[in-house]
Amino acid sequence: MNNNGLIVRPDKNLFMLYALLDTLGLMRGDMDGNPIRKATHDHFIGYEGLDTKKLKKTHHCHYVTYVLTRQERQVFLPKPRLLLSEEMKDMARRGGIIEEHLIRFQRNTDFKEFYRKIRPHYKFYCQHIDAITREKRIEGVLDKAWEMKRKIPMVVIPIPLEAGGIGPSMNGVSYAVIGFCHYDSNALHLIAHEGSHTRAKIVLAPYLDEIRSNSHLYDHLKGVAAYSKDYITWPICFEEHFIRALQEAVINPELIPEFDVQERLQREVNKCGMVLIYDFYEEILKHKAKSRRGNLGDVVPKILKRLNDKKRL
C-alpha cells in the first residue's frame, strides 16, 4: 500500500510483540472495545511467561524500537546496514531485554497459526487506515507544517492491540505505530502526532543544547497530576509540547474539518497535563502569520524566553 511516500502495512513481528505484552498484562487501554485485541487476549489467556519485573520498568516503546531493528522473517536477527540515531540505538538496546520473552512465546504458543487466521481482519483494518491517509495526503501536510526542506518517507503500522501510539525513526524513515482508532479523526490525529516526532527532531536538533540549558523550566510541570510519567526530561517535554502545539495550530485544522482548536488545547492542559501548551501554541501562530517565516526552529528561543519570563513573574 503506497501513498506518495507513505506506506501503511501490517507487521507480524510487532503483532507478536503486542500479543506477548498483552498476555503478560503489560499493555494499556481497554480490550473490550477492540475485537481483534479481545480475540488475541482470549486466545493466549493462561500463557505462562518469564518473570516480568524487569519488563515493568521499561516502557514498551523500547520493545517496539528493538523489534523494528530486527529482520521481518528472522525476528531475532538484526537488519543489515541500519542507520540509527544515538537515541534510537539506546532505545533498541534497552528494548533488547524482550528478546528471550519473545523466543519463549514463539516456541510455546501457536502464534503462527493464530496470526494466519487473524491476518485478514488485521489487513482489512490496515486498508481502512490506508484509505484515510490517501484521502488526506497526510505526509504532505506534515512536511509543510514542519517546514521540511526534503520529504520524509513514512511507514504507518496499525496495531489493534495498542491503545496509543509510538513514533520512532530509522534510516531516515518516520514510523507511526498507531493503536486502534474508533473514528477517522482519531486515526488522523494519531498518525499526525507520531509522524511528527521524526520531523520535530530535525527541527529541534540545532537547539538541543539551548533547550537542555533551560532544564529548570521543567519545574513548571512538578505537581501536575495529569502530566505523563513518560516525558520525564525537559528535552522530551519540550518536544512533546512543540508537537502538540503545532498539531493544534496547523496540522489538525487542515486534516480534520470539524476540529475545535480551543477545546483540544484545553484537553491538552486538563487531561494530559500539558500546562505550557498555550505558550508554544501562541509563538508558533506568530511564526506562521509572518509572510517571510524563516525556519520553524526560530520559534525555539522565543518559547524559551517566554517561559523564563513567565517563571520570573
Instruction: Kindly report, residue by residue over 101-156, the tens digit of the pLDDT.
Output: 999 999 999 999 999 999 999 999 999 999 999 999 999 999 999 999 899 999 99
What is the tens place of the pLDDT at every residue in 19-70? 999 999 898 776 667 889 999 999 999 999 999 998 988 999 999 999 999 9
Query: Do the bridges between strand 173-178 and strand 165-166 make them parallel or antiparallel, or are there none, so unpaired?
Result: antiparallel
**204 pLDDT exceeds 80?**
yes
The C-alpha atoms of residue 92 and residue 235 are separated, in whole angstroms, by 19
The yes-or-no verdict on residue 231 having pLDDT over 50 is yes
Q: Which residues pair with 176 in a beta bridge?
A: 156
Grid cell for residue 184: 477517522
pLDDT, tens digit, 9 for 90 and up, residues 278-308: 999 999 999 999 867 779 999 999 999 999 9
| Amino acid present at 294 | G
- Number of helices (H) and strands (E) in the chain: give both, helices first: 15, 5
pLDDT higher for 221 or 32? 221
The type of residue at 286 is K
Residues contacting residue 47 through CB under 8 Å, at least 6 positions apart: 23, 105, 108, 109
How large a percentage of the chain has pLDDT more than 90? 77
Which H/E stretch holds residue 20?
A: helix 12-23
The residue count of the chain comes to: 313
What proportion of the chain, given as a percentage, has pLDDT over 70? 97
Question: Roughly what angle, to the nearest 10 degrees, separates helices 234-246 and 277-289?
Answer: 50
pLDDT confidence tier of residue 1, bands split at 50, 70 and 90: very low
State the CB neighbour count (10 A cutoff) for residue 2: 10
DSSP state of 28: -
Q: Do the bridges between strand 165-166 and strand 6-8 make them parallel or antiparallel, or are there none, so unpaired?
A: unpaired
CA 165 to chain centre: 4
Residue with cell 501513498: 3
The DSSP H or E segment spanning 155 is strand 154-158
Check if the beta carbon of residue 5 is closer than 8 Å to that of residue 154.
Answer: yes
Question: Quick one: pLDDT band at residue 313, thresholds 50, 70, 90?
Answer: low
DSSP symbol at 249: I
Query: According to the model, what pLDDT value does residue 209 have?
Result: 97
Mean pLDDT across the chain:
92
pLDDT at 2: 46
**The model scores a pTM over 0.85:** yes
